């Protein structure tokens, strides 16, 4: 099943901001060197192994600046491709295509980078039963698109915003006085939302569970403590592991029996992939 598409409002906002940032009052170099009547054929090519993400978003940049361009696509978001793979071909007014190039590639390279890294994490935990979650550690203004990229890579979205789930973190616990008190207050607020509590110790796991937490986030726990928490809770509520999650650690974390693993690195630290726009034949 293809990943759910991003909210069109998120796409419009991202493109508006990106084009305003890059174009300014106009592409003076292209206007000065390329005659208005010139037409161009360009191929968008992958230059490394990657998971495609943001192709239609990137092409929308070209459509805005070169609305009469003819565009042909050869792959879809979520596809795994190798170096030399042609993703799309564009033919149209050279001025518009050249002016759109950097903005389009910037967006697609970043989104494909997130999708590609997410896929690596998902592959690492294949067969364990654990589900990879993203976090709110995203580039400001690109959260909706970043979480779409996670879906393209096979990951699962967690909270989009602060208003769609209660997650009691260590600072909330510090203000409330204890994790049990924080959970009690959150449940009493009667928001209708799941109450998830962060726990650093097995003692906090017991306390948060007793207070009625709907799920627990096990933060920076050792593998032994994760296994202990899994045994203590015995599948009565979901458990999520977080903290210290890397490609070289996620498999062992998953094998402790937790239900979910959240990794900020897949959106916060994913490197952009290499995609080129080359002159077509």
- Catalytic residue (choose from 102, 185, 187, 227): 102
Same topology between domain 8-122+270-279 and domain 125-268 = no
- Catalytic residue (choose from 60, 77, 198, 214): 198
pLDDT tens digits, the chain, 281 residues: what are they?
Answer: 678 889 999 999 999 999 999 999 899 999 999 999 999 999 999 999 999 999 999 999 999 999 999 999 999 999 999 999 999 999 999 999 999 999 999 999 999 999 999 999 999 999 999 999 999 999 999 999 999 999 999 999 998 999 999 999 999 999 999 999 999 999 999 999 999 999 999 999 999 999 999 999 999 999 999 999 999 999 999 999 999 899 999 999 999 999 999 999 999 999 999 999 998 77
Other CB atoms within 10 A of residue 133 CB: 22
Residue among 32, 23, 75 at smallest CA distance from 52 = 75
What is the CATH architecture assignment of 8-122+270-279?
Alpha-Beta Complex (3.90)
Query: Would you kindly state where each structural domain of the chain is located, as residue ranges?
Result: 8-122+270-279, 125-268
Q: Exposed (0-12), middle (13-18) or buried (19+): which is 176, by Cβ within 10 Å?
A: middle
Token pair in block for residue 280: 């077509």
Annotated catalytic residue 187: no
Whole-angstrom distance, CA of residue 238 vs CA of residue 227 = 14
Annotated catalytic residue 219: yes
Q: Which residues, at least 6 apart from 232, have a Cβ–Cβ distance to it below 8 Å?
A: 202, 205, 206, 209
Annotated catalytic residue 102: yes
The pTM for the full model equals: 0.94
Annotated catalytic residue 198: yes
Q: Which residues, at least 6 apart from 211, have a Cβ–Cβ distance to it below 8 Å?
A: 179, 180, 181, 183, 184, 187, 197
- Catalytic residue (choose from 47, 80, 137, 206): 137
Q: Around 224, how many Cα atoms within 13 Å sit in the side-chain half-sphere?
A: 0
CATH number of 125-268: 3.20.20.70
- Note whether 270 and 153 are within 8 A (CB): no
Whole-angstrom distance, CA of residue 219 vs CA of residue 182 = 16
């Amino acid at each position: 099943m293809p990943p759910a598409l991003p909210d069109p409002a998120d796409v419009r906002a991202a493109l508006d901001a990106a084009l305003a940032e890059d174009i300014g009052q106009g592409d003076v170099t292209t206007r000065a060197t390329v005659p208005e009547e010139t037409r161009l054929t360009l191929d968008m090519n992958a230059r490394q192994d990657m998971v495609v993400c943001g192709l239609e978003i990137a092409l929308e940049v070209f459509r805005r600046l070169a609305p009469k361009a003819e565009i042909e696509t050869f792959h879809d978001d979520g596809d795994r491709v190798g170096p030399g793979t042609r993703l799309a071909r564009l033919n149209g007014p050279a001025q518009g295509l050249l002016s759109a190039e950097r903005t389009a590639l910037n967006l697609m390279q970043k989104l494909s980078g997130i999708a590609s890294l997410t896929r690596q994490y998902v592959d690492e935990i294949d067969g364990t039963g654990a589900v990879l979650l993203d976090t709110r550690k995203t580039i400001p203004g690109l959260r909706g698109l970043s979480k779409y990229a996670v879906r393209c890579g096979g990951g699962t979205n967690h909270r989009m915003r602060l208003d769609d789930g209660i997650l009691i973190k260590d600072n909330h616990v510090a203000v409330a006085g204890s994790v049990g008190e924080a959970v009690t207050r959150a449940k009493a607020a009667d928001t209708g939302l799941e109450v998830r509590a962060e726990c650093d110790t097995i003692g906090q796991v017991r306390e948060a569970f007793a207070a009625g937490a709907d799920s627990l986030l096990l933060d920076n726990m050792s593998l032994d403590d994760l296994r202990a928490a899994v045994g203590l809770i015995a599948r009565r509520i979901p458990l999520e592991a977080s903290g210290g999650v890397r490609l070289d650690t996620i498999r062992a974390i998953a094998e402790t029996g937790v239900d979910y693993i959240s990794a900020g690195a897949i959106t916060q630290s994913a490197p952009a992939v290499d995609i080129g726009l080359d002159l077509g034949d």
